[in-house]
């Protein structure tokens, strides 16, 4: 049964959380990417990952959440542990089986937690979910949030430093290749300590990016590539349509090929712009072995035809046609 919370009950929970009723404030903003370390987003993703931490994953299967970062085991009071365990159990029962990106309900929760005060005022949730989050909030704030927030802010500051230096050149290259303008309005980027198994994900309409600071593959210059990669999900439509159309013309179905193209373009442009400044950088596809693990059959064609497009030696339609003809 959904329970209705009175205004007094909401205020009481807000006072338990222990901070003023204030909405999120961004840590940094670069080229209309507004980057946050949001308490509610971090709590939501930490509960999701905590639910997965207690699940048995069959051999060969992949969990939907990252592993919890070191330092996640804490000693709580019996009352706190009972409240926290209940919240994790609800997430395990109601949400853990749902993908953070592909399930519309999970996207609704993520968007609903944006720019909320400590009482979750006007959050578009039923009162049970609001009560659950608010009951877990003081415990998360006491045991995990300070360290998570510090780590998130350090990641943001490092990424923003690199973004500010290279954003003009990289954005110019990417928007030319994608055939679109850069974002005219701000795009929200939520940095969470732990999240989806892939570490970062982006939902559309509106473009909303989530990046996990505990993902070790996003360190140093990779943070710059990853922010441009995730931003590209809101800009790639012409390229993905060309690739998918060329595949359809050859009667091939490869629903993931456009994503490989996105990976390659964002990584190669980042690599080239850093190289212009004397910085040696290995794009994410290569640094993590993702090309070989997931898309080895695409590597040769992508390196030949997408590289030619990045270098300005072919058109988008020619690249898409050549790529579709060459892939298995």
- Both 73 and 94 in one domain: the answer is yes
User: Could you tell me if 30 and 160 are in contact, meaning their C-beta atoms sit under 8 angstroms apart?
Assistant: yes
Of the three residues 212, 235, 258, the one that is the final residue of a domain is: 235
User: Could you tell me if 47 and 85 are in contact, meaning their C-beta atoms sit under 8 angstroms apart?
Assistant: no
- Both 143 and 58 in one domain: the answer is yes
- Both 208 and 312 in one domain: the answer is no
pLDDT confidence of residue 320: 98
pTM above 0.85, yes or no: yes
- Both 97 and 222 in one domain: the answer is yes
Nearest to 218 by CA among 294, 155, 286: 155
Residue 304 resides in a domain: yes
pLDDT confidence of residue 60: 80
- Both 143 and 270 in one domain: the answer is no
- Both 312 and 245 in one domain: the answer is yes
pLDDT confidence of residue 17: 41
Domain count, the chain: 2
Of the three residues 204, 235, 266, the one that is the final residue of a domain is: 235
- Both 108 and 75 in one domain: the answer is yes
Residue 18 resides in a domain: no
pLDDT confidence of residue 14: 42
User: Could you tell me if 110 and 48 are in contact, meaning their C-beta atoms sit under 8 angstroms apart?
Assistant: no
Three-point CA angle 106, 27, 102, nearest 5°: 15
- Both 138 and 198 in one domain: the answer is yes
Residue 108 resides in a domain: yes
- Both 54 and 193 in one domain: the answer is yes
- Both 142 and 267 in one domain: the answer is no
Nearest to 66 by CA among 58, 74, 55: 55
- Both 195 and 303 in one domain: the answer is no
Residue 285 resides in a domain: yes
- Both 31 and 125 in one domain: the answer is yes
Residue 14 resides in a domain: no
> How far, in whole angstroms, is CA 290 from its chain's centroid?
17
Which residue range is the domain that position 231 belongs to? 24-235
Query: pLDDT by residue for the chain (328 residues), tens digit each?
Result: 333 334 434 334 444 444 434 458 999 999 999 999 999 999 999 999 999 999 988 888 889 999 999 999 999 999 999 999 999 999 999 999 999 999 999 999 999 999 998 888 888 888 889 999 999 999 999 999 999 999 999 999 999 999 999 999 999 999 999 999 999 999 999 999 999 999 999 999 999 999 999 999 998 899 999 999 999 999 999 999 999 999 999 999 888 999 999 999 999 999 999 999 999 999 999 999 999 999 999 999 999 999 999 999 999 999 999 999 999 8
Residue 17 resides in a domain: no
């Amino acid at each position: 049964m959904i329970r209705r919370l009175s205004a007094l009950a909401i205020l009481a929970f807000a006072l338990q959380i222990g901070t003023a009723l204030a909405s999120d404030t961004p840590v940094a903003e670069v080229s209309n990417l507004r980057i946050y370390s949001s308490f509610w987003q971090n709590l939501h993703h930490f509960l999701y990952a905590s639910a997965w931490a207690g699940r048995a994953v069959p051999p060969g299967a992949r969990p939907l959440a990252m592993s919890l970062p070191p330092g996640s085991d804490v000693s709580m009071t019996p009352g706190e542990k009972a409240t926290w365990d209940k919240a994790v159990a609800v997430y395990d029962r109601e949400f853990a089986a749902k993908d953070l990106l592909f399930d519309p309900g999970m996207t609704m929760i993520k968007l609903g937690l944006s720019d909320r005060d400590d009482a979750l005022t006007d959050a578009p949730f039923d009162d049970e979910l609001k009560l659950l989050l608010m009951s877990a909030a003081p415990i998360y704030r006491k045991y995990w949030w300070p360290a998570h927030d510090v780590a998130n802010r350090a990641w943001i500051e490092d990424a923003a430093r690199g973004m500010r230096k290279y954003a003009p050149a990289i954005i110019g290259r990417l928007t030319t290749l994608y055939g679109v303008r850069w974002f005219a309005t701000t795009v929200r980027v939520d940095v969470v300590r732990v999240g989806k198994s892939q570490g970062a994900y982006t939902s559309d309409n509106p473009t909303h990016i989530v990046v996990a600071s505990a993902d070790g593959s996003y360190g140093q210059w990779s943070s710059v590539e990853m922010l441009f990669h995730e931003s590209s999900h809101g800009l790639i439509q012409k390229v993905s349509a060309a690739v998918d159309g060329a595949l359809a013309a050859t009667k091939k179905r490869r629903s993931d090929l456009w994503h490989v193209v996105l990976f390659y373009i964002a990584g190669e442009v980042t690599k080239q712009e850093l190289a212009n400044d004397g910085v040696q950088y290995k794009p994410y596809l290569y640094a993590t072995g993702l090309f070989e693990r997931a898309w080895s059959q695409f590597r040769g064609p992508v390196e030949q035809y997408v590289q030619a497009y990045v270098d300005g030696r072919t058109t988008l339609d020619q690249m898409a046609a050549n790529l579709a003809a060459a892939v298995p």
